[in-house]
Amino acid sequence: MQEPERSHYRHRDLNWLSFNERVLQEAEDKLNPLYERIRFLAIFSSNLDEYFRVRVSQLRQMKKVEKSLRKKLALKPTKLTKEILEEVKRQQEKFGDIYYKQIIPELAYHDIYLIESSHFNAEQKKFAVNLFQKKISKHIKFRLLNLDKENDLFLENATLYFLVTFKNENKFGLVNIPVDSCGRFVELKDKNQKTITFLDEIVRFELHTIFPEEEITGIYEIKLSRDAELYIDDIYDGPLAEKIYDSLKQRTSGQPTRLLHDAKMPKEVQKKTRKLLNLGKIDMMPGGKYHNFNDFFSFPDPTNNPELHFEKLPPIPHKVLEKSDDYFSAIAEKDQALHFPYMSFDYVENFLEQAVQDKDVTDIKISLYRVADESKLTSCLLEALEMGKNVTVFVEAKARFDEKNNIIWGRKFEEKGANVIYSYPKVKVHSKIMLIQRMENGESVNYSYIGTGNFNSETSEIYCDHAIFTANQKIAKELLRLFKVLEGELIVPREKNLLISPFSTRQEFTKLIYNEIENVREGKKAKITAKMNSLEDPEMVELLYKASNAGVKIRLLVRGFTCLIPGIKGISENIYMTSVVDRYLEHGRIYIFENDGDEKIYYGSADLMSRNLDRRIEVISPVLDKDVAQEFKELLAIQLEDNVKARVQDASEENRYVERVEGEKAVRSQYEMYKYLKEKHTS
């Protein structure tokens, strides 16, 4: 993680915070209904928790590197961590302002009251006592700690606790808040209004019964985040999936990365807490009265008021697949594109179901990166095995936070007779691919599915992704060779049409960018337009700078973090970048190269990140069907015109919204894309 020259590059970890700032802007934006703004607070909190568990923990590991070597590698983890903590503190203060000054009053405006235990009336106090005694107390775990003695104390990752101080300053109390067992929110009985409280407040109200012999002087909520890295030995000396599965317990016992505490905790109590938990000052992060705001995903709406939520957008029926009883014929006739969440994931599951039921289908091959807990897709794969079809499933056992579920499903497929392939050391399989082999007129014909998103019906409802079904045999044969690589039958896939990491993506993207540079120098049409999640690879950033300096116009849409800085004089003047954060999570990748008017359009699973180009199996496919290519272009054009939810990305990192010229039509791209697809597919 060498820190590049700051004048030309952003540090990815600092710029990621700029992305999370955009999420916070959505919580502040009154264009969004109230409960959706609450959801954005939950997303912000969830993102930040993962950031500390993954990125900040890596910085902590870097601090263990010998100082002379850190200097040689230009590693500055302490300086960077301080910058991160300063920015996080600023954002959390903004978070608190949004929550207390906007969300809480607006809930009250709609007769929904989120109250603290100090405001319980007599009836609510009685209800709280009864609820605690009957349902909550059995899940409470507590300790009375003597600070004059050694205390073997362990806080579980992301678990909420109360740290309790007493008149006897040599004692601390520690009490868990059992959210997993009891839920985070409690609807209080109230005849006159809709009243909700935190589970925290019920426990707080009854703390005196847990420590009846002590005089309580302070109650402070705390939460410890732990390193999420599994640190598995890369030497392949046994089944990697088993090593991963056995190592998952490290997630709950990893090195602390942040102790979030109530900002009102006195400094002397903070000092004692640090000593008690063996933490440094840099590990302490002041926050609000409550933590784990990701629990607000489940915040109840006792009014059931539809105006407080996004209007439902029903899935758009695909103009061909919706009416088709035979997907194979429809795909053989013409490539068919899907766009989620505007269209239903049912089409993918229906295709697989048809393949299972079709007596002419012999083989099903699929790569699974994040598997849903239960889905029609997994049921279809199990049914295919029962019907005697050959099923090959590549299961990515290293998909962070989905390892356990993926491995469990892999075992289920294995038990039913599937050829299950798990992760490789140092390489993840991130591609979203499926291949169906079918006997037609005595020959095996391949049908392919290549997408930008996971085979997951749940995430398909909130992730914006693209996919294409194709019977193009050039694409299918190369995809088949890739599966043979995964199965160990080939070493390289020898592709000419597909871009496959780590074999050819970097080289082909380099050629495509240099082609635009040559074209602009020769006075030909030259332009690069790209949409992705993140842009980090130093070599690609330098190439884009080089293209910009040559005069190539570059238009980028990057949802997450970027190390490239647009608009720097003499470096990136011809690069303009925006980011769209809105109702859905932008997740698709599309790359368009002007190629002197004969455009080359690609889409797939890879961002321009070093890991996607060099350390993952990724598939980027050309869009060969002219109609589908036009559809991809028009959808991307809509996003590039966004002037409602698009933020300009430049050296200032201010996340300012794209300015709308007076009289200009407001373009909120996700809604305009929905309208475009609805008109095109239902007309």
Model confidence pLDDT, tens digit, residues 134-178? 999 999 999 999 998 887 888 888 899 999 999 999 999 999 999
Above 50 in pLDDT, residue 81?
yes
Residue by residue, DSSP assigns 602-634 as EEES--BSHHHHHSEEEEEEE--SHHHHHHHHH
Q: How confident is the model at residue 2 (pLDDT cuts 50, 70, 90)?
A: very low
Its CATH class, for the domain covering 321-494, is alpha beta
What type of residue is 232? I
CATH for 1-110 is: 1.20.58.310
Domain boundaries along the sequence of the chain:
1-110, 126-300, 321-494, 501-682
Write the burial class of residue 46 (CB in 10 Å: 0-12 exposed, 13-18 middle, 19+ buried).
middle
CATH for 126-300 is: 3.30.1840.10
**β 194-198/112-115 pair status:** parallel
C-alpha distances out from residue 444 to 323, 329, 351, 477, 480, Å: 26, 15, 18, 11, 12
Q: How confident is the model at residue 409 (pLDDT cuts 50, 70, 90)?
A: confident
What type of residue is 539? E
Lowest mean pLDDT of 59-63, 91-95, 219-223, 311-315, name the range: 59-63
What pLDDT score does 683 carry?
A: 78
Tell the CATH superfamily of the 501-682 domain.
Endonuclease Chain A (3.30.870.10)
Above 60 in pLDDT, residue 267?
yes
What pLDDT score does 254 carry?
A: 64
> Does 583 carry a binding-site annotation?
no
> Does 559 carry a binding-site annotation?
yes
> Does 309 carry a binding-site annotation?
no
For the segment 227-248, the average pLDDT, to the nearest whole number, is 45
**β 160-166/142-146 pair status:** unpaired
Q: What is the pLDDT of residues 125-146, one digit of tens each?
A: 999 999 999 999 999 999 999 9
Q: What is the pLDDT of residues 363-401, one digit of tens each?
A: 999 988 776 677 888 899 999 999 999 999 888 765 454
Q: How confident is the model at residue 430 (pLDDT cuts 50, 70, 90)?
A: confident
263 or 403, which is more confident = 263
What pLDDT score does 280 carry?
A: 83
What pLDDT score does 58 carry?
A: 66
Above 60 in pLDDT, residue 475?
yes
Cα gap 290→160, rounded to integer Å: 9
Q: What is the pLDDT of residues 545-601, one digit of tens each?
A: 999 999 999 999 999 999 999 999 999 999 999 999 999 999 999 999 999 999 999
> Does 291 carry a binding-site annotation?
no
> Does 400 carry a binding-site annotation?
yes
Above 50 in pLDDT, residue 59?
yes
Q: How confident is the model at residue 228 (pLDDT cuts 50, 70, 90)?
A: low
Cα gap 17→415, rounded to integer Å: 44
Q: Classify the phi-psi angles of 80: left when phi > 0, otherwise alpha if psi is within -120 to 50, otherwise beta.
A: alpha
Torsion sign across C-alpha atoms 279, 283, 288, 292: negative
What pLDDT score does 316 carry?
A: 98
> Does 463 carry a binding-site annotation?
yes
The residues annotated with a catalytic role in the active site are: 430
Q: How confident is the model at residue 1 (pLDDT cuts 50, 70, 90)?
A: very low
Above 70 in pLDDT, residue 244?
no
Cβ neighbours around 181 below 10 Å, total: 12
Q: Whole-model pTM?
A: 0.89
Q: How confident is the model at residue 60 (pLDDT cuts 50, 70, 90)?
A: low
What pLDDT score does 425 carry?
A: 63
Q: How confident is the model at residue 407 (pLDDT cuts 50, 70, 90)?
A: confident
Sheet holding 112-115, edge to edge: 112-115, 194-198, 185-188
The mean predicted confidence, pLDDT, of the chain is 89
Above 90 in pLDDT, residue 285?
no
Q: Does this chain's domain 321-494 share its CATH topology with 501-682?
A: yes
What pLDDT score does 163 carry?
A: 97
What pLDDT score does 403 carry?
A: 64
Q: Percent of the chain at pLDDT above 90?
A: 73
What pLDDT score does 384 carry?
A: 94
Distance of CA 539 to the CA centre of its chain: 25
